[in-house]
Amino acid sequence: MSLGFGDRSRRRRRFWGRLARFLFLIAVILVFGVFMYQVGVDRAQTDLTGLRQKIAELGQANAEWTRERETMTKTLATLRQRAKMLQERYDREVPTGPSKPLVALVNQRLAAGVEPDRLAFVIGAAENLQQCDGPAQTKRFIVATPLYNGPNGAVGFADNTITVTASGMSARDDQGNPEAWYDTAEPVTVTFTQIGGEASEITGKLPLHHSIVLGDADYRFSLLEGARGFVKVVGERCSYP
């Protein structure tokens, strides 16, 4: 009987020992789980704090970008308005079309010392109809080139108070060698020299046209291609203004 009681006592001790180890294991697992949970909570809190800070930084950056965009929009609107005003002023003050060369000519004559009242009188008295002396005079002369600058290189008009000369590029033969006469396919420079030394020039391909005002007369010239090496000048005198 005592042996059976001893066996039961040992079984009970083993049972309680196993239960104790089991409970200890459960406790360890619970402690580890609580620890890991707390670690996870702390990490999540840290991540959440970082995300909130990042959101705040992005919000601030977005606000700054919005302010910059508004500033740029206002600046662009101001620049567009200024450009519109400048364009309107340009359209009002800068001549275009037929008046553009006239304004340039007026400025040129003012720079040359012509009185503004004189220009105003001439412009006011100008008409499409002009009385010209006839018939027109036609003369010719040889165009100077790098290979020729000799006789017959000038003609005179208005009782020789206006001398006309010209220079151009040398023509070339089939082998490309320069010749004495000018190349009619290239521009020429024509010089009109008045008594006293005042001169004016025009440059371009023939035909060319030019006019010179002397006192109450407007001398008009047309320059045309002549015989080889020559330029023909047709000149006429018209009333001015």
- pLDDT (tens digit, 9 = 90+) per residue, 94-138? 776 776 777 777 787 788 777 887 777 667 666 655 688 878 899
Tens of pLDDT, residue by residue over 145-179, are 999 999 999 999 999 999 999 999 999 999 999 99
**Mean pLDDT estimate for the chain:** 85
- In whole angstroms, give the CA distance from residue 2 to residue 13: 17
pTM here is: 0.49
pLDDT band at 62 (very low <50, low <70, confident <90, very high): confident
Judged by DSSP in three states, 164 sits in strand
Cβ density class 36-48: b for 16+ within 10 Å, e for less: eeeeeeeeeeeee
CA angle 31, 33, 37 (to 5 degrees): 115
The bridge status of strand 155-157 relative to strand 162-168 is antiparallel
Is the separation of the CB atoms in 154 and 144 below 8 Å?
no
Better pLDDT: 231 or 107: 231
**Of residues 56 and 172, more confidently modeled:** 172
Q: Where are the domains of the chain?
A: 1-94, 96-126, 131-239
Percent of the chain with pLDDT over 70: 90
